[in-house]
Amino acid sequence: MDPIPVDDDLLRGWPLAKPGAHSDKEERGRTLVVGGSAEIPGAVLLAGTAALRAGAGKLTVATVQRMALAMAMALPEARVVGLPETAGGGVDAAGALLLKPLAPRANALLVGPGLQDEAAAPMFVQTLLQHLPPAVPLLLDALGLCAAPHVPQREGGLLITPHAGEMAQLCGSAKEEVQADPARCALDAAQRWHAVVVLKGSTTHVAAPDGRLWRHEGGNPGLATSGSGDILAGLIAGLIARGTPLEQAAVWGVALHARAGEQLAARMGGLGFLARELAAEIPHLMDTGT
């Protein structure tokens, strides 16, 4: 199947649903972002900010306990939950129990930005899944991707956002193999794990489990900067929290992310803008239909 190009015609024909004039924050959904560490505290800050900029109504951020107060100060719009930390700087599996009352209320759960401790991450995510109702959409990014092959098929769906290196690690193949045929890799992964797959790169492929495939070409080199992927993951999570289907949220999230970069490049130059500056571009782009 030839990939569907993500362009203006596609986006105009597949618009995001807009909330009613009298809708409130509850109707726009709750996003729960889980991740962060003492060494990478800003990842959940970026992802959470992007979720709110995408229009999500409420945000909860769960991160390691010693960063929780700082996170609450940096992101006053969010509820912040502190989680126990492993010796390796990750989130301890016991922290999943603290999220047990929160996870069922989420309309989108994003796990992974800024997580550390490769040994502890799979156990934490798998423990969290035991307390996550199957109807809650699950997004895995960064170190959270380690759990993707072990997630059972979910009513709410699974969405993953690997770059080529992460996809290669997940599939047990070489990065060069993924880069040689990213469309096939994305489709194979989508069908194998019953997931919407966002395979990131200068050309990004979005694959759905039913075999649909989209290709986005665009953006600019400035998007290849620290924290950019956290913004994309949070943006997609925020769109899903609003009730957007996973594949539409993925396609729109990729397009909005790229076009935010284009706007910043036009004002500031092609290199040197910061990932945190991308999020503020999103509301205007959504209003104008990109």
Q: In what order do the strands lie in the sheet with 58-64?
A: 4-5, 213-217, 203-207, 195-199, 158-160, 138-140, 108-111, 30-34, 58-64, 79-83
Residues spanned by the domain of 249: 4-14+28-287
- Per the model's pLDDT, the better-predicted residue between 158 and 1 turns out to be 158
Residue 22 lies in a domain: no
**100 confidence band (pLDDT: 50, 70, 90):** very high
For 184-193, how does the pLDDT look when each residue is reduced to its tens digit (9 = 90+)? 999 999 999 9
The stretches of 3-120 forming alpha helices (DSSP H) are 8-13, 42-53, 65-74, 95-99
| pLDDT for the residue numbered 24 | 65
Average pLDDT over residues 256-266: 95
Q: How confident is the model at residue 54 (pLDDT cuts 50, 70, 90)?
A: very high
Tokens 């991450």 — which residue? 121
Contact predicate 198/160, CB 8 Å: yes
Within-domain flag for 23: no
Please check the confidence at residue 1 and state whether its pLDDT lies above 90. no
Domain membership of residue 156 (yes or no) is yes
Where residue 180 falls among pLDDT bands split at 50, 70, 90? very high
Average pLDDT for residues 251-257, to the nearest whole number?
A: 98
Let me know: does 145 contact 170? Beta carbons within 8 Å. yes
In a domain, 20, yes or no: no
pLDDT at position 21: 66
pLDDT in tens, 120-137: 998 999 999 998 999 999
Whichever domain contains 107, its CATH number is 3.40.1190.20
- Regarding predicted confidence, which is higher, 240 or 290? 240
Answer yes or no: is pLDDT of 263 > 70.
yes
Residue percentage of the chain with pLDDT more than 90: 89
Give the least confident one: 81-85, 125-129, 250-254, 274-278: 125-129
Mean per-residue pLDDT for 66-78?
97
Going by their DSSP bridges, the two strands 203-207 and 4-5 should be labelled as unpaired
Judged on CB neighbours under 10 Å (0-12, 13-18, 19+), 118 is: exposed
Classify residue 19: in a domain, yes or no. no
**Does the residue 56 lie in any domain?**
yes
Distances (CA, A) of 37 to 11, 155, 162, 163, 286: 36, 30, 20, 21, 31
pTM greater than the 0.85 cutoff: yes
Tokens at residue 230, please? 């956290």
pLDDT of 48: 98
pLDDT in tens, 3-35: 999 999 999 999 999 876 667 677 789 999 999
- Mean pLDDT on 220-232: 94
3-state secondary structure of 181: coil
> What are the residues whose beta carbons fall under 8 Å from the beta carbon of 18, sequence distance 6 or more?
none
Residues 196/34/99/132 CA torsion (nearest 10 deg): 10
Cβ atoms of 261 and 219 within 8 Å: the answer is yes
**Residue that has been written with the tokens 């969010």 in this structure:** 78
Q: Does 68 reside within a domain?
A: yes
Share the mean pLDDT of the chain. Answer: 94
Mutual angle of helices 164-171 and 182-193, in 10-degree steps? 50
> Does the residue 90 lie in any domain?
yes
Residues 263 and 240: their CA atoms lie apart, in Å, by: 24
Q: Three-class SS of residue 4?
A: strand
Give pLDDT, residue 288: 80
Domains: count for the chain? 1
Contact present, 43 and 35 (Cβ < 8 Å):
yes
